[in-house]
Amino acid sequence: MPLVAGVDSSTQSTKVEIRDLETGEVRGFGSAAHPTVTPPCSEQDPQSWWSAFELAWGDAVGSNAGEVVAISVAGQQHGMVALDVEDRPVHPAKLWNDTESAPDAAWLLDRIGAAVTDAPALGGRRAWADAVGSVPVAAFTVTKLSWLHRTRPEAWAQVARVLLPHDYLTHRLTGGYTTDRGDASGTGYWSPRTGEYRFDLLALIDGDRDWSGVVPDVLGPLDVAGSWQGRTVAVGTGDNMAAALGLGVVVGEAVVSIGTSGTAYTVSPTPTADAGGEVAGFADATGHFLPLVCTSNAAKVLDAISRILGVDHAEFDRLALDAGPGGPVLLPYLDGERTPDRPQATGILAGLRSDVSRAQVARAAADGVACGLLDALDALDRVTAAPSRIVLTGGGARSVALRSVIAGLVDAPVVRADVAEAVATGAAVQAASALEQVEPSVIQQRWGLGAAEIVEGTDSGDLRERYAALRDA
């Protein structure tokens, strides 16, 4: 029976999911950890991703390796993998949550703004949004390239190729240099609207370099990147784009993904360009578009507060659910924040009184993460239609407390997806789609993706008003 493999290479680990090509049944799973990182400097050796893949692959396939006929890699967006002429990293890969390039984001806005308007700050944001659908912040690859050019001139001189994390792993499989429109749209120098690189933006960093030979080829959604040990290798994509495939979301639905970071996104038939910078105008992995808002602090906030309280996740949930509304308010920007753009921010716990309880602190964590994610949904609503349904996914969605707070604060129905590993599942969908040369929707329908359970909400009183007052203080 033929099988397909989906790979999810995230900040924390590489996961491999094996599915039956015909039925979609999960036939194997493996996971291996990546080195731990903590912003503002968040770097990993790309070789560690390949080592993790090899371990996860071995655990996932077992004795069935010969039955796997196609594979696709989804990876964390934005990261910078700069290679020399022999494909060796000239510097450890800068990850999306590395904030050392925050000054470079501001510098790039000034550079383009000064060229198009007498008001550089406003003009820069508008110009970047018009050019590539997004306003670059420290997460974007273009800012990390600027950082490397500015701070590591010897390494910069050796740069021959620049890849994204998923591109790197696909390269290790095929030997080629390819990417897809979804992941390319998160670089800050590829336009979802035109489907072309903006070499003029890269020239702001280094005008003497021929960038056309540095960046990977952008393949189409059904294109094959190459082969690995006789298996078809699909083009791959970014993690959020893969998750949309794995969840089977349709136009009009919004997804809130609660991992280490949080994202809110929707599938759109048209491109978006938010000069305010909150909504990134990405492309998706099917030919449509994926306007997205990202927060840096989501499930890791629950993990941190659980550690401080000395409880596991189940006890954290029990505590948070025992506390009623109206307690302390947590602004959860523990390691800086991407939306809003506050890379140097820290967390704030306000409203403490002498009778504060452990349950109230747990509830404050769930409330704070929920409000940060709902701020992201609000930003998304400003450039797209209000969602018909909100789908929760990711490890943080396992928290009953968090998902019930979210459901109680929105008007649309809230559901929790029943796909355990949405990114890896989406990569498997892409692998099957490329193998059979059919639209991903054909695979999604055949595998029965898109099912979810309804989430009941809990009363949170005036939480959003109190949170907004703390956020805007």
Domain with 87 in it: what CATH number?
A: 3.30.420.40
In a domain? residue 451: no
CA distance 384 to 406: 20
Count of structural domains within the chain = 1
In a domain? residue 415: no
Provide the 8-state DSSP code for 336. Answer: B
Q: Which of 180, 183, 239, 367 is catalytic?
A: 239
In a domain? residue 43: yes
Structure tokens at 412: 């649309």
In a domain? residue 10: yes
CA distance 472 to 456: 29
Please return the burial class of 398, using the count of CB atoms within 10 Å of its CB with bins 0-12, 13-18 and 19+.
middle
Provide the 8-state DSSP code for 387. Answer: P
Contacts of 243 (CB under 8 A, 6+ apart): 74, 255, 257, 393, 422, 423, 426
In a domain? residue 272: no
Q: What 3-state class would DSSP assign to 278?
A: coil
Q: Are strands 93-94 and 43-44 parallel, antiparallel or unpaired?
A: antiparallel
pLDDT in tens, 409-453: 999 999 999 888 999 999 999 999 999 999 999 999 999 998 789
In a domain? residue 419: no
Active site residue 130: no
Q: Are strands 389-393 and 414-417 parallel, antiparallel or unpaired?
A: parallel
CA distance 248 to 447: 10
Count Cβ neighbours within 10 Å for each residue of 161-195 and write b for 16 or more, e otherwise: bbbbbbbbbbbbbbeebbbbbbbbbbbbbbbbbee
What pLDDT is stored for residue 285 in this prediction?
96
In a domain? residue 294: no
pLDDT in tens, the chain (473 residues): 899 999 999 999 999 999 999 999 999 999 999 999 988 999 999 999 999 999 999 999 988 878 999 999 999 999 999 999 999 999 999 999 899 999 999 999 988 866 655 445 557 888 899 999 999 989 999 999 999 999 999 999 999 999 999 999 999 999 999 999 999 999 999 999 999 999 999 999 999 999 999 999 999 999 999 999 999 999 999 999 999 999 999 888 999 999 888 999 999 999 999 988 899 999 999 999 999 998 989 999 999 999 999 999 999 999 999 998 999 999 999 988 888 888 889 999 999 999 999 999 999 999 999 999 999 999 999 999 889 899 999 889 999 999 999 999 999 999 999 888 999 999 999 999 999 999 999 999 999 998 789 999 999 999 999 999 999 98
What domain range is 208 assigned to?
3-239
pLDDT in tens, 295-342: 989 999 999 999 999 999 999 999 999 998 999 999 999 988 888 888
In a domain? residue 282: no
